[in-house]
Amino acid sequence: MKNQNDTVDIVIIEDDPNDAELITRVFRKHNLANKIILLEDGAEALDFLFAEGKYAQNSTVLSPKVVLLDLKLPKVNGIEVLQRIKSDERTKNIPVVVLTSSSEDRDIKAAYDLGVNSYVTKPIKFDDFAQVVSELRLYWLLLNKPSESA
Amino acid sequence: MIINEPIPVEKLDPDQIEIVIVEDSSKVAELILRVVRRLNLAGRYILIKDGGEALDYLFAQTNYVNAAVRRTPRVVFLDLKLPGIDGLEVLRRVKLDERTKNLPVVVLSSSIQENDIKTAYDLGVNSYVTKPNQSEELSSVVEELVRYWLLLNKMPAR
Amino acid sequence: MSRPRQPTRRKQVKPEAVQQTAQRQSLPHPVGLVLDAGPTLMAYVGVDGRYRWANQVYERWFGKFSEEIQGRHVREILGEEAWQVVRPYVERALCGETITYEQALPKQDGHLRWLRATYTPDCDETGRIAGFIVHAMDIGEYKQSEDNLLREKAFSESAINSMPGIFYLFDRNGTFLRWNHNFEEVSGYSSQEISAMNPLDFFNPEDKGIIANAINHVFTEGQVQVEASFVSKSGQSTSYYFTGLRMFVDGTPYLIGSGIDLTGRKEAEETQRATLNILEDFDEERQNFQLIQKATLNLLEDMHEERNQLDQTQRALLNILEDIDVERTRVEQAKALLEAVNKELEAFSYSVSHDLRAPLRAISGFAQAVVEDCEPQLDEEGKRFLGLIQQNAHRMGQLIDDLLSFSRLGRQQLLESRIDMEAMVKAVFKELVALAPDRKIKLTVHPAPPAHGDKAMIRQVLANLISNAIKFTRPREEALIEFGYRPESDAKVGAYFVKDNGVGFDMQYVDKLFGVFQRLHSVTAFEGTGVGLALVYRIITRHGGRIWAEGQVDQGATFYFTLQEREVE
């Protein structure tokens, strides 16, 4: 799934393979042309976003339209990833939406403190889940205008 | 997206201002208000036409000093062209102040200038949305915005 | 089981009240459950003193449904007596003050119960008060312990006051916390004055150093005895023998002690010395005096006895005070433990249900994905199978919800009130029958006495039983359901019953009826998770009652239950 020198539209950072697949489906269903990249843990996510580690050969200019970020990630957790994204000049303007099962106040506040653009909880039932992802797509891919130079 | 359905009242805190609209054009304001009212949010929004006044409200100062600032709204829709203090300056101050930096701010502007867009993101805007020219389109954009930030987006307990 | 909408009954109910009720019924899960789960009473009262909303716990306490509360003034719901008690607090809340108080209020059944309530005023953006929020909890059991503690304290009061000497208790800063009547009498100071004085104030300047040292010694080494002149308000000096013992209350050290008047002894000693001087030249008299000395020694020994007795009294007092402290600590520890256990169970149940639901989402999701993406490859059977997969996933989700309620039930506090059973059955039936509009279902309500129990739980019992009756009468043209009361001939308590003309069941399997997951009919014939009756059984048992059933295949079934095997009203 390496995109070298290509632009990426959507970055999904999600460790649960079922959720990852279901989320990706919703995006693909509406627009096959969207470039989606799926990362399964926090460390890989950071490598990708900063063109380090196994993604060192990528160009660093990515500017995805949105990053969907789960909080419960192996290796480096979601809050840390968020913190790295929002504190680095190169990436801080990328819209990041936390999409997680946690509705704990502590997590919500931590995310906002770090500058998250939006915080959305994953619904328990599948129908609602699909609906939420669909609305996320509608908002962040169609409605929101990202900055061209990330 | 089901349009025309009012937002279920129980999803909102009672008596809480949910939306702050900072917009100086009466035409646009009227349109936004119509949508907001149709979604059953009468009494849940406040419309402010001037940048300075918007800051007064959000910081509970001057005219709004008695307003209990426990009222943290769920979203601020912010136009950029405003009399008094302009939108970007309002954004800058809101995002710098501890009391208000976590407020979701959505710029709703007719400007498509990359300058404005980049500056807004630099200042920490949550989302930047351009105003369509046609009123029906603007109506549905506003509706989508309200639904997203009131129903989908989560905020910490007040 | 989701709560059906509650329809309005009377035209007098204000529109906002209806809206409020309807709102709560359709609150997203689990908000509605959380608000109504208890044990906290919650309500919102407008600035006009009228209720705008109350949670179920509140309803249960006052024995009124929400339509009867909303729009009504607090005075109407609480009754005149209780209103006079809470009125000052209400007024303060409406002036913008957040206030917490503890009061005994008469409950619906007339009994006084202790409540701790907090009123939080609600201001709008102009600073105007719109109303106030009520949060209250029944603290009856804690008050009980507090009462016991107080009564014990009273006992020690009399013990302290009956002492011959003076008694005192003060902290490191020298603030007096307890003293006896004698102390006031001997020192000549009033209670008010003593509470503001320091121990050193009762001594002459030349003695203050010794006393200060002695006090320090108590706090560092544990105890001390010292003789000094005790100075009263009028300036009178009296020889006293003081003791001090260090004791800990809640980890803070205090000095507790007593003093006895040595005047007698001192006088005796002085007289003795003076006399000796005089008798220096007189041998015989001196011998006599030696006898007197011996007598004096005996006297002193008696004083010593008294001193010992004082020490013993003091120690006994200390024990009493320690016991009180232990009791208080024990109650608090029990409280804390209970809270902790409940929290853990809740968290456990929540995370278990959460973890169980996650794969379900995937199952439903991927089944849907197959339906969408593989449409051309799917035949009718394939589509049907996928539908079944989704149905079962849905069913499992329901099971998880039911089990969660079931487990939660065990931890809930029972909030008793008087229940109009006839009315409740009719209300429950009305809601349930609305869900099956295409069927002919007739309910007959026979006269039944009111019951005592937890309103919400009993409502659940009736809802489950009636719902079952409706379900199992589906094959009938006209479903006939009856509710009534059958007085028992020999027992003190009669039984309520729900009877139907449905498919009944084989009495052979009657023992299985109330087990969790037990069903006597196939799922295809009659849907259900099999938890419903187990829940009912649990509720009835918690009320101290019994539930049993009688039925015959194809001849319908009757479910009987009693509540609290005690005197019938």
Q: Over the stretch C534-554, which tens digit does the pLDDT of each residue have? A: 888 888 988 888 899 999 999
Give the residue ranges of DSSP H helices in C47-179.
56-62, 66-69, 74-78, 80-93, 140-161
Give the residue ranges of DSSP H helices in chain B.
26-38, 51-58, 87-96, 114-122, 135-147
- Cβ–Cβ contact B130 with A under 8 A: yes
Task: Label the pairing between strands A66-69 and A96-100.
Answer: parallel
Q: What is the pLDDT of residue B71?
A: 60
Confidence of residue B90 (pLDDT cuts 50, 70, 90): very high
Q: What is the dihedral of CA C215, C216, C220, C225, to 10 degrees?
A: -40
Residue in A109, A143, A149 closest to B156 by CB: A109
pLDDT higher for C206 or A112? A112
From CA B135, how far away is CA B34, in angstroms rounded?
A: 11
What ipTM was reported for this prediction? 0.89
Q: What is the pLDDT of residue C9?
A: 41
Residue in B10, B64, B68 closest to C26 by CB: B10
- Cβ–Cβ contact B67 with C under 8 A: yes
Tens digit of each residue's pLDDT (9 = 90 or more) over A126-150: 889 999 999 999 999 999 999 986 4
Q: Of C33, C17, C67, C119, which Cα lies nearest the Cα of C346?
A: C33
From CA C232, how far away is CA C182, in angstroms rounded?
A: 12
Percent of chain C with pLDDT over 70: 78
From CA C254, how far away is CA C144, in angstroms rounded?
A: 27
Q: What is the pLDDT of residue C19?
A: 46
Reply yes or no on whether the pLDDT at C281 is more than 80: no
- Cβ–Cβ contact A10 with B under 8 A: no
Confidence of residue B1 (pLDDT cuts 50, 70, 90): very low
Reply yes or no on whether the pLDDT at C275 is more than 60: no
Mean pLDDT for C234-249 is 83
Are A29 and C360 a contacting pair at CB < 8 A?
Answer: no
C175: which 2 tokens? 């603030």
From CA C23, how far away is CA C26, in angstroms rounded?
A: 5
Residue with tokens 């968290």: C347
Question: Backbone phi, then psi, for C518, in 5-degree steps?
Answer: -85, 135
> Would you list the DSSP string of C16-51?
HHHHHHHHHHTPPTTHHHHHHHSSSEEEEEETTSBE
Confidence of residue C15 (pLDDT cuts 50, 70, 90): very low
Give the residue ranges of DSSP H helices in C26-139.
31-37, 56-62, 66-69, 74-78, 80-93
- Cβ–Cβ contact B153 with A under 8 A: yes
Q: How many CB atoms lie within 10 A of CB C306?
A: 16
C515: which 2 tokens? 């087990």
Confidence of residue C333 (pLDDT cuts 50, 70, 90): confident
Reply yes or no on whether the pLDDT at C227 is more than 90: no
C250: which 2 tokens? 């809640």
Confidence of residue B78 (pLDDT cuts 50, 70, 90): very high
From CA B95, how far away is CA B46, in angstroms rounded?
A: 20
Cα C351 from chain centroid?
Answer: 26
Among A133-147, C271-285, C483-497, the range with the most confident prediction by mean pLDDT is: A133-147
From CA C109, how far away is CA C60, in angstroms rounded?
A: 11
Confidence of residue C288 (pLDDT cuts 50, 70, 90): low
Nearest CA in chain A to C373: A29
- Cβ–Cβ contact A120 with B under 8 A: yes
Determine the 3-state secondary structure of C122 from DSSP. Answer: strand
Residue with tokens 């260090």: C246
Mean pLDDT for C123-143 is 81
Q: How far is CA A92 from CA B57, B117, C288, C436, in A?
A: 28, 14, 107, 56
Q: What is the pLDDT of residue C480?
A: 95
**A interface mutation test: which of C360, C361, C374, C389 has the most A CBs within 10 A?**
C361
A-B contacts at Cβ under 8 angstroms? 73
Mean pLDDT for B1-9 is 49
- Cβ–Cβ contact B71 with C under 8 A: yes
Contact predicate C471/C525, CB 8 Å? no
Reply yes or no on whether the pLDDT at C242 is more than 80: yes
Mean pLDDT for C175-181 is 85
Amino acid at A28: R
Q: Which of A102-106, B58-62, C107-111, C413-417 shows the lowest per-residue confidence on average (mean pLDDT)? A: C107-111
- Give, as one character, the DSSP assignment of residue A149: -
Are C354 and A19 a contacting pair at CB < 8 A?
Answer: no
Residue in C19, C23, C123 closest to B68 by CB: C123
Tens digit of each residue's pLDDT (9 = 90 or more) over C20-51: 444 555 667 777 778 887 788 899 999 888 99
C338: which 2 tokens? 């209970």
Determine the 3-state secondary structure of C307 from DSSP. Answer: helix
Q: What is the pLDDT of residue B99?
A: 87
Mean pLDDT for C447-460 is 90
* Length of chain B counted residue by residue: 158
DSSP 3-state helix, strand, coil percentages of chain C (rounded to 5)? 50, 20, 25
First to last CA, chain B: 28
Cα C207 from chain centroid?
Answer: 52
Q: Exposure pattern of B66-88 as b/e (b: 16+ CB <10 Å)?
A: ebeeebbbbbbbbbbebeebebb
CATH topology of domain C145-292: Beta-Lactamase (3.30.450)
Reply yes or no on whether the pLDDT at C204 is more than 60: yes
Are C28 and B11 a contacting pair at CB < 8 A?
Answer: yes
Task: Label the pairing between strands C129-138 and C41-46.
Answer: antiparallel
Sheet strands side by side (includes B105-109): B45-48, B19-22, B75-78, B105-109, B127-130
Residue in A93, A112, A132 closest to B152 by CB: A132
Which of 1.10.357, 3.40.50, 1.10.287, 1.20.120 is the CATH number of C330-409? 1.10.287
From CA B121, how far away is CA C393, in angstroms rounded?
A: 43
Q: Which of A137-146, B28-37, B107-116, C377-386 shows the lowest per-residue confidence on average (mean pLDDT)? A: B28-37
Sheet strands side by side (includes C547-551): C440-445, C478-486, C495-500, C557-561, C547-551
Among A61-75, B58-72, C318-332, the range with the most confident prediction by mean pLDDT is: A61-75
Report the gap between the CA of C535 and the closest CA in chain A (Å): 24
- Give, as one character, the DSSP assignment of residue C173: T
Average pLDDT, chain B: 84
Mean pLDDT for C253-277 is 68
> Would you list the DSSP string of C314-362?
HHHHHHHHHHHHHHHHHHHHHHHHHHHHHHHHHHHHHHHHHHHHHHHHH
Q: Does domain C15-137 have CATH number 1.20.140.10?
A: no
pLDDT higher for B71 or C224? C224
Q: What is the pLDDT of residue C192?
A: 86
Contact predicate B75/B48, CB 8 Å? no
Q: How many CB atoms lie within 10 A of CB C443?
A: 21
Are B67 and C125 a contacting pair at CB < 8 A?
Answer: yes
Reply yes or no on whether the pLDDT at B135 is more than 50: yes
Beta bridge partners of C549: C559
Q: How many CB atoms lie within 10 A of CB B133?
A: 8
* Chains adjacent to A (≥3 CB pairs closer than 8 angstroms): B, C
From CA C245, how far away is CA C486, in angstroms rounded?
A: 68
- The helix/strand count (H/E) of chain A reads as 5, 5
Q: What is the pLDDT of residue C515?
A: 72
A51: which 2 tokens? 């063109």
- The model's pTM: 0.52
pLDDT higher for B81 or C178? B81
Give the residue ranges of DSSP H helices in chain A.
17-30, 42-49, 78-87, 105-113, 126-137
Reply yes or no on whether the pLDDT at A1 is more than 70: no
Q: What is the pLDDT of residue A30?
A: 85
Contact predicate C481/C466, CB 8 Å? yes
From CA C516, how far away is CA C531, in angstroms rounded?
A: 5
Q: Which of A96-110, B120-134, C287-301, C527-541 shows the lowest per-residue confidence on average (mean pLDDT)? A: C287-301
From CA B106, how far away is CA B109, in angstroms rounded?
A: 9
Q: What is the pLDDT of residue C525?
A: 64
Q: How far is CA B110 from CA B25, B91, B129, C288, in A?
A: 11, 16, 8, 121
Amino acid at B66: N
Reply yes or no on whether the pLDDT at A67 is more than 90: yes
Question: Backbone phi, then psi, for B9, in 5-degree steps?
Answer: -60, -35
Domain ranges of chain C: 15-137, 145-292, 330-409, 416-561
From CA C512, how far away is CA C22, in angstroms rounded?
A: 38
Could you tell me the sign of the dihedral formed by the alpha carbons of C142, C145, C147, C149, in that order? negative
Q: What is the pLDDT of residue B2?
A: 37
Average pLDDT, chain C: 80
From CA C38, how far away is CA C44, in angstroms rounded?
A: 16
Reply yes or no on whether the pLDDT at C5 is more than 50: no
Are B118 and A117 a contacting pair at CB < 8 A?
Answer: no
Q: Of C255, C226, C229, which Cα lies nearest the Cα of C243?
A: C226
Q: Exposure pattern of C501-528 as b/e (b: 16+ CB <10 Å)?
A: bbbbbeeeeeeebbebeebbeeeeebeb
Report the gap between the CA of B108 and the closest CA in chain C (Å): 25
Q: What is the pLDDT of residue A74?
A: 86
From CA C145, how far away is CA C520, in angstroms rounded?
A: 48
- Cβ–Cβ contact C357 with A under 8 A: yes
Amino acid at C140: G
Q: Which of A136-150, B43-57, C269-283, C479-493 shows the lowest per-residue confidence on average (mean pLDDT)? A: C269-283
C418: which 2 tokens? 């008087």
CATH topology of domain C416-561: Heat Shock Protein 90 (3.30.565)
- Give, as one character, the DSSP assignment of residue A35: -
First to last CA, chain A: 22
Question: Backbone phi, then psi, for C477, in 5-degree steps?
Answer: -60, -55
Q: Which of B54-58, C216-220, C334-338, C559-563 shows the lowest per-residue confidence on average (mean pLDDT)? A: C334-338
From CA A121, how far away is CA A132, in angstroms rounded?
A: 9
Q: What is the pLDDT of residue C243?
A: 80
* Cis peptide preceding C30, ω within 30 of 0: yes
Contact predicate C480/C498, CB 8 Å? no
Same CATH fold, C145-292 and C15-137?
yes
